[in-house]
Amino acid sequence: MFPTQSMGYDRAITVFSPEGRLYQVEYATEAVRHGPLAVGVKATDGVVLVGEKRSPHALADLDTLRKILLIDDHVGTAIAGLHADARKLIDQARVQSQVNRLSYDEPISIQALVVNICDTKQLHTQYGGVRPYGVALLVAGVDDHGPQLYTTDPSGSFWGWKAAAIGKESDAVREYFQEEYKPTLKLPQAQSLALDGLLKVTDKSESDPAELAKSIEIGLINTTDKKFKILEQDEVQAILAAR
């Protein structure tokens, strides 16, 4: 994976290789690429997130696992990578959201929230004694600028997207979105596209809707009420059965 002459430059986060690479950041990115898939699609009237839950053990209870979480009333996030790292970042994002409400009496903008998360991630790429966060986040919400969808990566970089995917097989999903996405999509169409993208690469499209609903989470927000909602399992099952 890495050239022999570059070995030894991954012993500390603060050491660049001769090629200008930070290997610890690349290792953290690999943790994201091996995580269960999460996808997001932005519509003209909202944003939808869909995530795959994967059991770490045959006896694990999938109901206790969370792929999509609420940050504030108007914004939610999907995880790919190390959930423990995500929990820390999400807790910080929740605090920042409430600080903004107390200070300015208004919900935080999605981009300001993403920048705050990425500032923390970037700090963990330049100091000794720490390691990068091995998690990527899909952040979706609605603010004064309309529907917003962002990704954050372990380096502290972020991008805004019309449709995005993180985690395992994310490259294939992005290629599918590039072919199928249309800027005029409404929220129901965006939801169908997100599900199609996820199921296309997970080989679960023919599964029984009741069983499939146990391993899929859907979160969405529209521009009418600006409230991020994580669907219950029976709601997800109904959506899958109607496909």
Given this model, what pLDDT does residue 31 score?
95
pLDDT digits (tens, 9 = 90+) for 71-107: 999 999 999 999 999 999 999 999 999 999 999 999 9
Q: How many CA atoms lie within 13 A of 109 on its CB side?
A: 6
Low-confidence ranges of the chain (pLDDT < 70): 1-7, 204-206
pLDDT digits (tens, 9 = 90+) for 39-67: 999 999 999 999 999 888 888 888 888 99
Given this model, what pLDDT does residue 206 score?
64
Given this model, what pLDDT does residue 63 score?
85
Distance, CA of 228 to CA of 221 (rounded, Å): 4
Instruction: For residue 229, give the H/E element and its range.
Output: strand 229-230
Q: What is the mean pLDDT of the chain?
A: 93
Q: Under CATH, which number does the domain 25-56+64-241 receive?
A: 3.60.20.10
* Domain ranges, ordered by start, for the chain: 25-56+64-241
pTM, rounded to two decimals: 0.92
